[in-house]
Structures are given as structure tokens and as C-alpha cells.
Structure 1
Amino acid sequence: MANVARNTALISYLWTVFVLFSRTTGLGVNELLYFRIISPEEIGYIFSAAPAKDFGGDFTSSYDEIFLVPADPADGCSEMKDKEILHGQVVLVERGGCSFVQKARHVEEAGGKAVLIADNAEDNDSQYLDMVSDGSTTKPSIPALFLLGRDGMMIRRSLQRQALPWAIISIPVNVSALASFPLKQPPWTLW
């Protein structure tokens, strides 16, 4: 009986979070992709990101453990350094300086599997932007996702504080199975 009450409370909580999230962002839960940080543990949460609207590919594979590597240069507006580290990984890029398409193209040219573009407004913890094409004819084929600024800042800060070159993530994560795994969202973000 206690398990039924607990599950009912969890479902009620999730529905409330979803309704509040939908009102705040204008996006539905099915329009987002989720990933989980495995390491470092201090930011071991499930994060949400919005896929690009009219460019980039879909995840054709699920990665239980893949590196999330901060880009160098951070804005991703020129050729990536340390291509051997980025090759086959997910790359974290900061918004600003050039178009979303250019950033994704530079990551793809460096061999990245996907790009997470974090908003440069570090206090943004609720507003997703629509990443749209810049009109160029050559569009990247890797998945491109928009990450809230607060999430990106907290990930970068944790990596810098611990002098780590990358985080280990699982992507994509199926949130419809949340009841079977710990519901652990970033405490600074309401979703």
C-alpha cells in the first residue's frame, strides 16, 4: 500500500513539473532530449536540452558512457583545437559569436558525435531558444541541442573546479522510465 501511495505521489509530482515546465518554456516533454551526467558526481543530474529545429541529425545510437568535452575555443566559432580529444565525443559549446549552424559544423569537422550549445546567459534556467538554420547550404548532420545557460555554466564550473577535461554522460536518457531510476534533476532548474 505504501508503494502505491509513493508511486501516486511521484506521478502527481511529475505531472505538476511537466505542466509548470510547459507553461514556462512553451516546449513539451516530447520536444526535449535528456542526458545524465555520470561523472563528476557533484553534478550527477538528469539535464534537458532542446534539439535544433531545422538542422542537425537525430541520435541513432544510445551512449551509456561518452565524454562531454568543453570546446576550445569555447564559442565554437573557429576550427576546434584538440581534435583527437573531441573525436567521437559530445562537445559542449557556448552560445554567441557565430550561428548555431557554424558551431555544429565546426564540431562535426572535428569528429564530434553531437554538440550541446549552452546559452551564454548564465542565469537562464528556464527559457529554451529555437536553434534554426542560418541559411547556409551546408548543414551539419550531427545532433545539435540547446542547453540552458545555468546548466552549461554549472557543468563548466564543476569541470574547472576539479581540473577535469570532460564529464562522462549517458545520452539520450528515456525519461518515460524515470520511475525506475532516481529522479535527480539539477536543484537550480525547475522542469
Structure 2
Amino acid sequence: MEKAFGKTPLLLCLWSIFMQFSRMSGLAINELLYFRVISPEDIRYIFSAAPAKDFGGQFRSSYDEIFLVPADPADGCSALTNGEIIQGQIILVERGGCSFVQKARHAEEAGGKAVLIADNAVDNDSQYLDMVTDGSTTRPSIPALFLLGRDGMMIRRSLQRQALPWAVISIPVNVSSLASFPLNQPPWTVW
């Protein structure tokens, strides 16, 4: 490894972090999708999320500023009642109560562009789950992404603390095109 990277300690450290992440999550770094929170300021980081394995669509557009709106009900297991503010936005739901497919279908029916499903294990800051179909024949076509529990909790907590109805995000973000490292990732998450 020293021959490939020279003797630069920073590069060795970065390679070590990448390898640790790959072993912990089972995912390669290019299998994740990234988004940046623009506002509120206290969570202005780049987050990673894992796309669903066998349902949901892909991002066909890049959104420089779009709202990330928490679902009501939070678990997204029934028709969403805050449809007026989630129409055309990204919807944040919590894991649990029903299948990933049902959550994504409810988000799509409410007019969401995509759904981020945050793990309900709020201490999870490294383990991505494979979101797979539940066997139903009707599958959602919007992108569905799995978000680490700690990331979801910190986003919801910030919005609640500031009484905000949504966060403003950019999605997807091409992290390989960002000029500087370290990326502005959440301080509670190891990449």
C-alpha cells in the first residue's frame, strides 16, 4: 500500500477509513448515494444512503434545492396526512410498522419525488440494511433509500428543535467531484 500511496499519512488514513467502512457495511463506497443538507445550519453535512435493492427508481434529475419533509405519520405505513407540503419533495420516514415497499408506495401516492427511510435504531451509525421487495406486485417507481438511524434522528431532532417543517437538501451529490477532503460528513458517522 505504501508504494501505491507514497508515504503520505493522510492518504494512508483515508484508505484505512475506506476499508473499515467497506468491511462494516458490506457496501462499496460507490454503491451509496449522497445528499447534502443546506439548511438548517446545525446539520449542514453530506449524508450517505443506500438505494433499495430490487424496487424503486433511480434519480433521473439532480435537485440543487429540494425539501426533505418528515412524513406524517412518521412511519409512513398509512396515507400521509401532510400531503400539501410533501407534494414534489423528498420524504423522510422511519423504519418499522410495515414493509419498505409500503412506505415507498405511500410516499409516491402523496406525490413525493423520493423517500429516505431512516433506521429506527437511532444508535445505528454504520450498518446499512438491504431494502428488498415484500413480494407485492405493485412496486413504487420513486427512488427509495435507506438512511442510517443516527443520521435520521439528528435530522428530525434539528427540525423539531427549530420548529421547522423541512430541511433543504441537494440530492444526489457526486462526492468524487468535491475538491476538498475531508468531506463535511456528520461528526457522529465514520465513512
Q: Please, what TM-score do these two structures have when normalized by structure 2?
A: 0.93
Q: In structure 2, what is the Cα distance between the partners aligned to 1:107 and 1:146? A: 14
Q: In structure 1, what is the Cα distance between the partners aligned to 2:9 and 2:155? A: 30
- The corresponding residue for 1:60 is 60
Q: After the TM superposition, which residues 103-122 of structure 1 pair with which residues of structure 2 at under 5 Å, given as runs?
A: 103-122=103-122
* CA displacement at 1:183 relative to structure 2: 1.7
Q: After the TM superposition, which residues 165-180 of structure 1 pair with which residues of structure 2 at under 5 Å, given as runs?
A: 165-180=165-180
Gaps of 5+ in 1: 1-7
Q: In structure 2, what is the Cα distance between the partners aligned to 1:179 and 1:16? A: 20
**The 10-residue stretch of structure 1 (173-182 or 58-67) with the greater mean CA deviation from structure 2:** 173-182
- Residue identity opposite 1:162 in structure 2: Q
- Residue identity opposite 1:127 in structure 2: Q
Matched residue SS, 1:179: coil
Q: In structure 2, what is the Cα distance between the partners aligned to 1:10 and 1:34? A: 23
Deviations 1:113-145, CA, capped at 9 Å, x for gaps: 000000000000000000000000000000000
- Percent identity (aligned): 82
* CA displacement at 1:11 relative to structure 2: 4.5
Write out the 4+ residue segments of structure 1 that deviate beyond 3 Å after TM superposition: 8-14
Deviations 1:145-175, CA, capped at 9 Å, x for gaps: 0000000000000000000000000000001
- The corresponding residue for 2:97 is 97
* CA displacement at 1:177 relative to structure 2: 1.4
Q: In structure 2, what is the Cα distance between the partners aligned to 1:182 and 1:66? A: 25
Q: After the TM superposition, which residues 17-166 of structure 1 pair with which residues of structure 2 at under 5 Å, given as runs?
A: 17-166=17-166
Deviations 1:32-70, CA, capped at 9 Å, x for gaps: 000000000100000000000000000000000000000
- The corresponding residue for 2:184 is 184
**The 10-residue stretch of structure 1 (178-187 or 111-120) with the greater mean CA deviation from structure 2:** 178-187
Q: In structure 1, what is the Cα distance between the partners aligned to 2:28 and 2:59? A: 19
Matched residue SS, 1:69: strand
- Residue identity opposite 2:17 in structure 1: V
Q: In structure 2, what is the Cα distance between the partners aligned to 1:76 and 1:20? A: 33
> Alpha carbon RMSD of aligned pairs, Å?
1.3
- The corresponding residue for 1:4 is none
Q: In structure 1, what is the Cα distance between the partners aligned to 2:18 and 2:43? A: 22
Q: In structure 2, what is the Cα distance between the partners aligned to 1:106 and 1:59? A: 18
Distance 1:10 1:90, change over 3 A: farther
Q: In structure 1, what is the Cα distance between the partners aligned to 2:166 and 2:134? A: 29
* CA displacement at 1:84 relative to structure 2: 1.5
